[in-house]
Amino acid sequence: MTFPNKVALVTGAGSGIGKAVALALLADGWQVVLAGRRLPPLQAVAAQCAAPENAFAFAADVSKEDQVLALFEATLQKFGHLGVLFNNAGISAPPGVLLEDLTLSDWQAVLDVNLTGMFLCLRQAFRVMKAQHPMGGRIINNGSISATTPRPNSVAYTATKHAVTGLTKTASLDGRKYHIAVGQIDIGNAATDMTQRMQTGILQANGSIAVEPVMDVAHVGQSVVYMANLPLSANVMFHTIMATDMPFAGRG
């Protein structure tokens, strides 16, 4: 089964990985809904593509159920179909905070976006893809390599990304009967504003500070385009893309 038209929804599309993926999909001929909490950055991304009529910016906070419902409704009103959800929106707790010093409010803020927000978008994508004709679609969750291996002082972010893997596995199973393929991309050290500190030195597991290699975030966009274009009879359940020499495999 292939999509009757190429419509994708990207959350967290105003910057970083979401922006790179949205632009890659647009360049590949997809119609793309760009979602994020602030409209001006989304509109700026849409203005960068060669066919602005294929980009639709919509402000929504994925941690708010009513705003997620409005986002998906607006997607259907604009394009009439949903082929792919790139479930990407995420935040981190303030950097450098020790586990024992992390406040409940900072912990909860990360869970609200990274886990509850991802669930709300996943759930609504299921509802839309189950009801549309032809039935089905694809959901790609942004996991991060923190879904496998943590960094120091990252308990909230890492806990949510481990949980995303559970969402992916369960949704992949539950989506089969609706022709919904669910996969996950785990990304390490893509060059964005979030990873700038890695290029000046970041805390390692052994307590040292080291500069870490980064990769062009455009490679993430290319990976998602590949996953998005697969027929629904095939699924990349887990895809890891990372800067080749970053500390991840083995001991560093």
For the chain, the structural domain boundaries read 7-242
- What average pLDDT does the segment 88-100 reach? 93
DSSP code, position 115: I
- What average pLDDT does the segment 7-23 reach? 97
The percentage of residues in the chain with a pLDDT greater than 90, rounded to a whole number, is 85
CATH class of 7-242: alpha beta
Model pLDDT, residue 205:
86
Whether 80 shows a pLDDT value over 90: the answer reads: yes
Measured distance CA(183)–CA(170) in Å, rounded: 10
- The CB-side HSE value for 223 (13 A sphere, CA atoms) comes to 25
Catalytic residue among 139, 157, 184, 224: 157
- What average pLDDT does the segment 168-188 reach? 98
Whether 252 shows a pLDDT value over 80: the answer reads: no
Measured distance CA(86)–CA(207) in Å, rounded: 35
Q: DSSP per residue over the chain, as a string? A: ---SS-EEEEESTTSHHHHHHHHHHHHTT-EEEEEES-HHHHHHHHHTSS-GGGEEEEE--TTSHHHHHHHHHHHHHHHS---EEEE-----PPTT--GGG--HHHHHHHHIIIIIIHHHHHHHHHHHHHHSSS--EEEEEE--GGGTSPPTT-HHHHHHHHHHHHHHHHHHHHTGGGTEEEEEEEEE-BSSGGGGGGGT-EE-TTS-EE----B-THHHHHHHHHHHTS-TT----EEEEE-TTSS-STT-
Which tens digits make up the pLDDT trace of 34-66?
999 999 999 999 999 989 999 999 999 999 999
Model pLDDT, residue 199:
76
Measured distance CA(242)–CA(141) in Å, rounded: 16
Which tens digits make up the pLDDT trace of 221-248?
999 999 999 999 999 999 999 999 999 8
Model pLDDT, residue 251:
60
The two tokens of residue 198 are 């890695």
Model pLDDT, residue 23:
97
Which tens digits make up the pLDDT trace of 112-150?
999 999 999 999 999 999 999 999 999 999 999 999 999
Measured distance CA(217)–CA(91) in Å, rounded: 17
Whether 1 shows a pLDDT value over 80: the answer reads: no
Whether 3 shows a pLDDT value over 60: the answer reads: no
Q: Residues for the chain: how many in total?
A: 252
Whether 2 shows a pLDDT value over 60: the answer reads: no
157 is catalytic: yes
Measured distance CA(193)–CA(229) in Å, rounded: 28
Evaluate whether 15 touches 39 at the Cβ level (below 8 Å). Answer: no
Higher local confidence (pLDDT), 208 or 26? 26
What average pLDDT is seen over the chain?
Answer: 94
